[in-house]
Each structure stands twice: as structure tokens, then as C-alpha cells.
Amino acid sequence: MYVLGINGSPREGGNCDLLLDRALDGARSKGARIEKIVLNRLKFVACQECANMPDDGSCIVDDDMQKVFEKIKMADAVILASPIFFGSLSAQTKMMIDRFQCLWRAKYILKNKGIEYKKKKGIFVCVEASNRDDFFQNARSIVKNLFATINTDYSSELFCSGVDNKASINTHPDWLSRAYELGVGIVS
């Protein structure tokens, strides 16, 4: 089984990154092949809503997102981690999601049946400094739309509030343990 982790945080070694690593460790413990993408390391632009986009769901912009599209297509499970910024996902995460506009259009507007991604499981891990449940709900709704577009069951989530300082998630072993168990569960 191939489990793809996507870190949408700009802060490597931060709370999302640590939780994602724990989830991937859990998946690896059950024999999964894992890979992690750090969006902030990639060179890609936001969706350009190209007038000449193809009807097959592919994106014509040639940048690092092409690798992300391929890895998500191949994955048996996806674990997406993002912090909350201004009540929603990080810019890096939202930029990646918006780049699936071509696929969304082909799937839902053009009703193109030949482009479906293989069925997979998905986990959403999210961290915020405040204690605003509505921020998590907003982020969840966007991730659920992405997962539906890429044929991914929204299997589980882990929302951690009141966590701000870099690596302060380490003072919450219960959440780190929960992330590990989610990784184990996505392989089962």
C-alpha cells in the first residue's frame, strides 16, 4: 500500500509536520510504503483558470504540481496536513487544491467518466492556535471537496486547537498518539 502525506504548512518541523510524520510512521508500521510532499518546497503557481484547459481533467501548467497530480493518482491513501490561517487552510494547501479545478470541471461539469482517480482513503490533520471550531469546519469543507474530486473517502480527521508555537504539539502526546493510530488505521 502506498500512503502519500502532504504537508501544507510553511513551517517544517512544526506542529502539522510532526503530526503528519507520526501518521506516516503509523502507516509504515503496518507495511505501507510512504512518501511525504512538503508543498512549501515546491515551485508551483495558483490555478490560472486557463481558457484552453483540456476536457480530460489534466492541468496544462507545467510546474511541480504535475508531480503532485501523479503521486495522488498512484496513492492508495492520502494524509493531508494544514494549519489554520485566517480561518481556513494555509495558502500552500489552498493553492494545491485549487489546481484540481481542471479535474473538478471535467468530472462535475463535463461529466467526463473516463478520468476518475482510483478509490483511496483520506485523512485530514489540522492545527490551529485558537479554539475556533468554525475554522476547522471551514477547512474540512474544502478538504472534503478535494477528496470527493480525487475519489478519496474522507476516512478520519484530527483537529488540534490551542497549538501555536513551533513543535508545541510535542507537549500533547495524546494527539501524537492519535495521529499514529490514524496512520495505522488507514492501512488496515
Report how many domains make up the chain. Answer: 1
pLDDT value of residue 113 = 81
The whole-number average pLDDT for the span 89-110 is 96
Closest by CA to 124, choosing from 77, 86, 92, 85, is: 77
What's residue 100's pLDDT? 97
Checking if the pLDDT of 114 tops 80, the result is no
Once rounded to an integer, what is the mean pLDDT over residues 33-45? 98
CB count, 10 Å around CB of 72?
22
**85: closest CA among 44, 137, 139?**
139
Does this model's pTM top 0.95?
A: yes
Residue 108 has pLDDT above 80, yes or no: yes
Q: Above pLDDT 90, what percent of the chain? A: 96
pLDDT at res. 46: 97
Confidence of residue 98 (pLDDT cuts 50, 70, 90): very high
Strand partners, 156: 123
Count the neighbouring beta carbons within 10 Å of the beta carbon of residue 9: 24
What is the CATH number for 31?
3.40.50.360
Tens of pLDDT, residues 127-141: 999 999 999 999 999
pLDDT for position 116: 77
- The residue-averaged pLDDT of 44-52 equals 95
Per residue in 54-96, pLDDT tens? Answer: 999 999 999 999 999 999 999 999 999 999 999 999 999 999 9
Domain that holds residue 24: 2-187
Give the pLDDT of residue 33: 98
Distance CA 116, CA 106 (A): 10
Cα-based distances in Å from 30 to 54, 152, 183 = 39, 20, 9
